Structure 1
Amino acid sequence: MPEIHPTAFVAEGARLADDVVVGPFCAIGPEVEIGAGSVLRSHVAVDGRTVIGEGAQIFPFASVGHQPQDLKYRGEPSRLVIGRDALIRENVTINPGTEGGGMLTEIGDRCALLAGSHVAHDCRIGNDVILVNNVMVAGHVTIGDFAILGGGSAAHQNVRIGAHAFVGGLTGLENDLIPFGMATGNRATLAGLNIVGLRRRGFERDAIHALRRAFRSVFESSEGTLAERTAAVAAEHAGSPLVERMVAFLQTGGERAICTPQSGDAAARA
């Protein structure tokens, strides 16, 4: 049976794996499901139609699955799904989806949400993502695998952040950040590629060099439009996996513009 502290409240209907540990003063709602090996340290509140995968570590005063902060929400049966081995530190807030965003907020495996970070309604977060302290992720944001958002940074509603991207601390990201890109600044600009992250992840040297050449062709040239330069890079670097991922992101498009270098540093034009 789960190990439930006498001061904790677990509502009838909640489904907890046999070895889940629920610490003092936690509150678990009736539609919550928590996977094997998970530990709720103390004062954790989990509610709504929330599924938490195996091996989660959730620290005091985290609020998981409660009603989204969207004034259009009318109690629709939306969900929150969190993958395996989540690390959810103190005062983290994670909201479920809404009718306007697909009814689902989803967080992948092995994600670390550090103290005070917030994930709003209808976000889609990949695997191995790190949100450092006090990161604010607005509604409908998509974050790719292995992305890192530095402390105190903020992602605007509907922004896309590509895989292996890095957002610097205290950065306000208003536009889409390409895979492998690095954004910094009060209002973010594209500061280059996350070369350190690429090396740590073990990408081959030749693949990184090809990505660097492609990045320069797209963002450091003043010839043609961004779309035209992207198409030229796609043809030139066909078969290069990192470049193809960057190109696919640029050509797919979203509701926000693309984060580009600061004007004058690299004259990228949309």
Structure 2
Amino acid sequence: MRNALMLAALAAISFTPAGAVPSLAATAAVSQQAVWDELAGIVVTDEQMARSSNAMLKAMVDGLAADEEMAELETAYPGLLRAFSDALKPMMVQEAQRIVPLYRSDLAALYKANLSASEAAEIGVFLRSPQMTRFISTVAERNAMGATARDAMASREISAESLSADIGSAAIDASLQVDGADMKFIKDFFATPLGKRMSALNAQKIQIDARWSNYISPEAEAEVGPLVIEAMAQHIAKTDPEVAAEVRKTKLDTSAN
């Protein structure tokens, strides 16, 4: 029986296509790549993306509320902006799910090009520390994304400068809110050679942030206009079916162009 098992194993090895069994070097490379991938996943977590999406949507709705024409519509049909927000939220979540793997891949490439695997692992430990976790959470809570939303509402590309301004403002606010011992721990790390190298990557990282902030998938691009108009039409139809019908005609006309 033992010989039969050995023969079966030998047969399996003999008929394995060349390259199908990874070499030790390839295995090590994959293992190292996982370190940079993990760091990218720590920097851009699912929770952070969800918070950013919610903050961005709120900032956009606030921007619409300040628009004179939209304010008149909200007065005429109370709750219209809420209908707009509720319609967009699921789509934004789905779009984030499409984008995040690509976004993280770009970040992992940045870290791989500038950090050794051991350095990436050390930064990962720092970012996962209770002190940094609390700070990052506070920054996310304080980031109203006002400058970013203004870019989006003005139908222009979201700039790295706007992203930096929003993050910088939130970080300053957060630094005043978190415990002093936490801030000392964080400042001490960024004063180290590795911390300084990590900080030096911020300019490149913010460009990656901007690239993916401006990306919209073909699926979302096709969906967003009809989705928003239909949500608004459904809300208006509760009190004014005739106007709602006109809104839907606008949707059909837009789709035809």
Higher helix share: 2
- What is the TM-score of this pair, normalised by structure 1? 0.24
Larger RCO (CA within 8 A; separation ≥ 6): 2
TM-score (structure 2 length as normaliser) = 0.25
Rg larger in structure: 2
